[in-house]
Structure 1
Amino acid sequence: MVDNSIVRAARAAATPVLAGDKTVRLIIDNREVEVPEHTTILDAARAAGISIPTLCYLRELNEVGSCRVCVVEVEGIDQLVASCNNYVLDGMVVHTNSEKVRRARRMNVELLLTQHDATCPSCVRSGNCALQSLANDLNVYHLPLRRHLSGDAWDYSYPLIRDNDKCVKCMRCIQVCEKVQTLGIWDLVSRASHTAVGVSGSRDIAETSCALCGQCVTHCPTGALRERDDTERAFEAIADPKKATLIQVAPAVRASWGEEFGLDPEVATIERLAAVLRRVGFEYVFDTDFSADLTIMEEGSELLARMQAKAAGGSSAPHGPMFTSCCPGWVRFVKGNYPQFVGQVSTSKSPQQMFGAIAKTWFAQVLDMDPHNVFCVSAMPCVAKKAEAALPTMVGQSGEPDVDCVLTVRELARMIRASHVDPAKVEPEPLDAPLGFGTGAAVVFGATGGVMDAALRSAYYLVTGENPDPDAFSEVRGMGGWRERTFDLAGTPVRTAVAHGLGNARKLLDALVAGEVDYDFVEVMACPGGCVGGGGQPIHDGLEMAAERGQVLWGLDAGAKVRFSHENPSVQACYHDFLGEPLSDRAEELLHTDQSGWKMPGEPA
């Protein structure tokens, strides 16, 4: 459809609304509405409490009006106009639910359904699908038109799954990958009636530099994008009497798992989740917070050693900052896009992988258990963790992967439902020992700035022998996309930077390449907001939950009895009884990795 010229002109003249801008008066559904100029019809209607359905729309990300679900009737204009990207005019009269509008919306949804695999009972998004909700709301109970499904092939062993038979061509995945993550993995392919969304350049997904951040999944309104489902592998291990099946729960999971069951954060505690997971069948329930504290000991010691080498100078002195290595999406990004920095990424494994390495060595020894019979499952807010666990460099002493199976929060919820467990009716239980204790410093690993904050707390102690105020480094917190601060560690300035979202990471790395900035320590998380905004988290269409979930984690840290990683008694016992000390030979063997030991597509050999 082509918009009326006067509406198009109003859209082209749009500028950000500023305080003091003049207002516009219009009539929407026989109701007088006054809003600032340059307000969309959609926002004007919402301001008046009038609901207009949308499908492709995402504020400031995807405002292209492609789905035509949000169309409205404007008096004096023959064609219906998209309310999401057309702006109000003084005196405009709008009808949001006239018979003409209702018929058009219904027809548009019916046309979308002709190219949609509507096997809703077997779809992971059933009950949480924008198209399904729209069809129900518009009373589309019968489809009189023939379906035409593309049946495009996909490698279902890949951690990220695309099903084009469920795609509605909303282009959200294209926009979030291009505008926010700056990777451009998705694009429109073919032309005219054959237009579809696919991998850019007509490549196989495995040939791309996809970071597996999963932001395309959480921004998809249907089930066209999802993670590979590994729930049956976990159920099979639980059913195997020879296996000791344990599960580790990542810090960010405690801030989000309850959303799948309508539970408030105060109710959806890690202790309640532990009880739920035991009812699902897991023999041991542990906390990745333990290995997050372990990561701080290794990565913090690595940072101090690097800084001492830089201070000593010489031709072999390291140059540039050390980057954190906790986020596999970030590691994939830097390897695929800035391979010159790979040598500056910490060699410390991520907390997920450190946990698996310890579970199949120290923990197996404590229980006098054959490591081959230990099946380690991870509950993660992440899709990239599935790929990380399968890397050839993440194999332990037993010859098996450190981590056997990775589940997203959504998969975890599906396992709980499949086991007919109602979390609201389960009494909380403590996590298992010795890998179930974590500090406040470990909890905040899931929020942007958390790794930096935790590392600086323990680095200060390692330098001075005294604990700082646990909130001394709070300036690294917040939702700014790229933040930098310099802190004093006993007379030594430490220049730090924190970035979240790969678009911000790209800006930071470009500045480093250009010599515009210089740091000692840099934290990068691939997903906006950090792991709390991860691609494996519960999906709330059109809502960004990272900031809210992050506040939950910072609140748990503030209320924790122990807020320093080096004071974790389980970590202390692990070093005393098994590892020796940070960066020891055994620690290097089990807890560190060669970041160059595997290649991304296109990465120089």
Structure 2
Amino acid sequence: MVNLKIDDKKVAVPEGTTVMEAAASVGIRIPSLCYLKEINEIAACRICLVELVGKDKLITSCNNVVQEGMEIYTNSPKVRSARRTNVQLLLSQHDSRCAICERSGNCTLQQISNDMGIVSNPFPDDWKEEPWPKDFPLVRHGEKCVRCMRCVQICDKVQGVGVWDVANTGSRTTIGVSGVRKIEQSDCVLCGQCVTHCPVAALHARDDWQQVLSAMADPEKITVVQVAPAVRTAWAENMNIPREKATEGRLVAALRRLGFDYVFDTTFSADLTIMEEGSEFLARFDEIRESGMPMFTSCCPGWVRYVKSQYPELVSRLSTAKSPQQMFGAVAKTYYAKLLNVDPEKIYCVSIMPCVAKKHEAAIPVMNDAGAGPDVDCVLTTRELARMIRADRIMVEALEAEEFDRPLGVGTGAGVIFGSTGGVMEAALRSAYYLISGKNPAPDSFQTIREPDGWREGEFNMAGTKVKVAVVSGLGNTRKLIEAVRRGEVRYDFVEVMACPGGCVGGGGQPIHDGQELAGLRSEYLYELDQANPIRFSHENPAITQLYQDFLDKPMSHKAHELLHTDHEAWQMEK
């Protein structure tokens, strides 16, 4: 242990502890803008300065470790003056029109500035707007960038994609797309991790909710909305509504209050995905064993973009099954249009997703198999949904719980856990066991592959057949897994990949809580919902059974292939 004093308090902390961590251990919070533990500890913002007795220059607390006998002051006049000047300099180079910024009220720079009582700035404004393609799902506002380097470090160290890089030096330093490329030409997978780790609004998802409002106002349109499993874990977090009040039923009620004609649950099409993907896995099993290469899941569009740009030779190993989002759109504009006895062209299909890449996925030219335009017309993030609810002044706590519409609102516990890393694999194994043996396993037989650490594997006896599977989340971990497969160090039959660490619950479209990683807590909630669901197997979803009886015939049928499967080679990433 190292003994020191911080603001005249005696502190004892383990060797290697930073000054910032030592202060936090005794309830002293030192402000910071750029710091992310073990990811970005470069002291770029200079806001975490503290005074070390005996040293003239102030030191940064985020990357200086404690030493025996140190005396630190975190809020001396010298510290306050330096911090204030540094924040004012940042503000002079930052578009401070906060009232029209999507991160207003949830911006670390804004909070620090308010906490310091900064109401004027002696430094003149020195920023300008930079051009950016308006149709790309990820938006960068260079005039709001504080050059904290978080986006660079997250993309490099966690995701291993390297989209962002530093350009220029000194006061002209800025962040741009690496390799002097346009963003459309980069390897960006649209995971959105740079968005959720940006402390300001220099990065955000393209805003599409105004076009949804226009569709709802059109008397010729029938608006149907699907809600992804991970959304229910987080949709009210930024409205300060506790989870026990932010129920699934109130979410449905809020969506109807917004004006949607029909409210459905993506867990329905998650169950449908299991039926198709599980059946495909069994059909490909002999080839998988012969080739020694696994089948990979295909429900994460960020992962699909990644494999197409980084490992194009593995595209053929992807399942041909569409994601639940796209399966829902195809079914809504065919089967459901038939049930309503309406022209499919009248249906406007909206998805609410925890994801930025889903905006791209819906726009892929081949995702139009229903023959009525794009199968999914518009994708909103969880954050956009929250803004719509706030804009309409809906008092969520006062709403009576309502149920999803039927039949596309019926889902199982297996469909719910799709939102968590490992959930797709677990749901698939539950039904694959049944398809092989004709009987159900215990629902929690496969919980050992619930993946909290980035990469997990398991081997299961499926009615006499041993199946080796792996689950991985975060693209840095994914690269390690793929390289191990290519070197022959590991061999799997089936691999689930999710681009975002922790899965969809940690997606780039989820609410932002700076400095907190909430994927684990959100995942726990999904597994609680799974446990509480009376149906925990996708093949037992009565709405799915009815869909096959009335419309699709059986999994992997000709009709199912037309609507629910896709050719991943049929479109290319722009270069």
Normalising by structure 1, we get a TM-score of 0.94
Which residue of 1 is the match for residue 328 of structure 2?
355
- The residue correspondences of 1:586-601 to structure 2 (distance < 5 A) are 586-601=559-574
SS at match of 2:17: coil
Shift of 1:518: 1.2
Aligned equivalents of 1:267 and 1:536: distance in 2? 22
Deviation readout 1:455-495 (Å, 9 max, x if unpaired): 00000000111000000111111302111111111111111
Give distance in 2, aligned partners of 1:309 and 1:546: 35
Which residue does the alignment assign to 1:541?
Answer: 514
* Cα drift, residue 308 of structure 1: 3.9
> In structure 2, how many angstroms separate the alpha carbons of the residues matched to 1:478 and 1:523?
10
Equivalent of residue 146 in structure 1, options 124, 148, 151: 124
In the alignment, which residue of structure 2 is the partner of 1:283? Answer: 261
**Aligned-partner residue type, residue 395 of structure 1:** N
| 2: CA distance, partners of 1:332 / 1:220 | 22
Matched, 1:410 2:383: yes
What's the offset of the Cα at 1:221? 0.2
Equivalent residues in 2 for 1:34-183 (5 A)? 34-183=12-161
Instruction: Write the mapping of 1:192-271 to structure 2, written as runs, cut at 5 A.
Output: 192-271=170-249
Distance 2:292 2:549 in 1: 33
8 Å Cα contact 2:151/2:164 also seen in 1: yes
Give 1:342's match in structure 2, choosing from 296, 305, 315.
Answer: 315
CA offsets, 1:546-572, max 9 Å, x none?
A: 000000001110111000000000001
Does residue 1:502 correspond to 2:504, yes or no? Answer: no
| Identity, % of aligned positions | 58
AA aligned opposite 1:196: T
Displacement of 1:601 after TM fit? 3.6
Offset, 1:266: 2.4
User: Tell me, what secondary structure is at the counterpart of 1:456?
Assistant: helix
- Residues 477-486 or 465-474, more deviating: 477-486
- Secondary structure at the aligned position of 1:295 is classed as helix
> What amino acid maps onto 2:490 in structure 1?
V
1:260 positional shift:
2.1
> Structure 2 residue aligned with 1:564, among 501, 526, 537?
537
Q: Which moved more, 1:321-330 or 1:33-42?
A: 33-42
CA-CA distance at 1:319 after TM superposition: 4.7
Give 1:470's aligned residue. 443
**Distance in 2 separating the partners of 1:591 and 1:382:** 21
Matched, 1:513 2:491: no
Pairing partner for 2:343 from 343, 356, 370: 370
Q: Which digits, 9 at most, give the CA deviation of each residue in 1:299-333, with x for residues without a partner?
A: 0000000014456x6xxxx5510000010000000
What whole-Å deviation, never above 9, does each CA across 1:481-511 have from its counterpart, x for those lacking one?
1111111111111110000000010001111
1:268 CA drift (Å): 1.4
Of 419, 426, 436, 1:446 maps to 419
SS of the residue corresponding to residue 401 of structure 2 reads coil
**Partner Cα distance (1:46, 1:309) in 2:** 55
Hey, what's the Cα distance between the residues in 1 that align with 2:287 and 2:167? 51
| Aligned equivalents of 1:390, 1:585: Cα separation in 2 | 24
Range with greater deviation from structure 2 (442-451 or 512-521): 512-521
Summarize the Cα distance change of 1:310–1:78 in structure 2 as closer, same or farther, 3 Å threshold. Answer: closer
| 1:241-269 Cα shifts (integer Å, max 9, x gaps) | 00000110001001111212222222212
Unaligned ranges ≥5, structure 1: 1-22
Distance 1:369 1:42 in 2: 62
Partners in 1 of 2:401 and 2:238 — Cα distance?
Answer: 17
Aligned match of 1:423: 396
Contact kept in structure 1, 2:224 and 2:347, CA below 8 Å: yes
How far the C-alpha of 1:192 sits from its partner, in A, is: 2.0
- Is this contact kept in 2: 1:336–1:601, CA < 8 A? no
Residues 52-79 of structure 1, C-alpha deviations (whole Å, 9 max, x = no match) = 1111001111111110100000011111
Following the alignment from structure 2 to structure 1, what is the Cα–Cα distance between the partners of residues 393 and 242? 20
Contact in 2 for aligned 1:189/1:202 (Cα 8 Å): no
- Tell me how far apart the structure 1 counterparts of residues 163 and 477 of structure 2 sit (CA, whole Å): 17
Partner of 1:17: none
Distance 1:310 1:65 in 2: 49
Is the 8 Å Cα contact of residues 288 and 295 (structure 2) preserved in structure 1? no
Structure 2: how far apart are the matches of 1:397 and 1:272?
Answer: 31
How far apart, CA to CA, are the structure 1 residues paired with 2:361 and 2:292? 27
Q: 2:283 aligns with which of 291, 295, 305?
A: 305
Q: Which amino acid aligns with 1:365?
A: K
SS in 1 for 2:151: helix
- Farther-moved stretch of structure 1 (506-515 vs 581-590): 506-515
SS where residue 37 of structure 2 aligns? coil
**Equivalent residue for 2:3?**
25
CA distance in 2, matches of 1:77, 1:595: 61
Q: Report the alpha carbon displacement of residue 437 of structure 1 after superposing the two structures with TM.
A: 0.7
**Structure 1, residues 115-135: CA drift from partner, whole Å, max 9, x if none?**
100010111100000000000
> Which residue type is aligned with residue 161 of structure 1?
V
Q: What are the within-5 Å matches in structure 2 for residues 577-592 of structure 1?
A: 577-592=550-565
- Give CA-to-partner distance per residue, 1:309-367, whole Å, 9 cap, x none: 456x6xxxx55100000100000001100011100100000000000000000000000
Aligned to 2:461: 488
Deviates more, 1:252-261 or 1:118-127: 252-261
Q: Secondary structure at the match of 2:478?
A: helix
* Paired residue total: 575
Distance, in Å, in 2 between the alignment partners of 1:166 and 1:397 is 41
Q: Which moved more, 1:129-138 or 1:301-310?
A: 301-310
Secondary structure of the structure 1 residue equivalent to 2:179: helix
Partner of 2:272: 294
Contact 1:265-1:552 within 8 A present in 2 as well:
no
> Is contact 1:297-1:458 (8 Å) kept?
yes
Distance 2:129 2:396 in 1: 38
Q: What stretches of structure 2 of length at least 5 have no aligned partner?
A: none
CA contact (8 A) 1:378 1:407 kept: yes
Asked if the contact 2:154/2:193 (under 8 Å) is kept, the reply is yes
Give the TM-score of the pair, scaled to structure 2. 0.99
Say which SS state the counterpart of residue 126 (structure 1) adopts: coil
Contact 2:191 2:508 in 1 (8 A): yes
Amino acid aligned to 2:382: V
Question: Counterpart in 2 of 1:7?
Answer: none
Q: Determine helix, strand or coil for the equivalent of 2:458.
A: strand
In the alignment, residue 140 of structure 2 is paired with which amino acid? R
Given residue 530 of structure 1, which amino acid in structure 2 is its aligned partner? Answer: G
Contact 1:177–1:216 (CA under 8 A) maintained in structure 2: yes
The Cα offsets for residues 72-98 of structure 1, whole Å up to 9 and x where unpaired, read as 000111110000000111111111000
Q: What amino acid is aligned across from residue 454 of structure 2 in structure 1?
A: G
Kindly provide the amino acid, as one letter, of the partner of residue 526 in structure 1: A
CA distance in 1, matches of 2:248, 2:422: 22
> What is the CA distance between 1:399 and its match in structure 2?
4.0
Please tell me the residue identity of whatever aligns with 1:58.
Answer: L
Letter in 2 for 1:39: T
CA contact (8 A) 1:261 1:423 kept: no
345-354 or 188-197: bigger deviation: 188-197
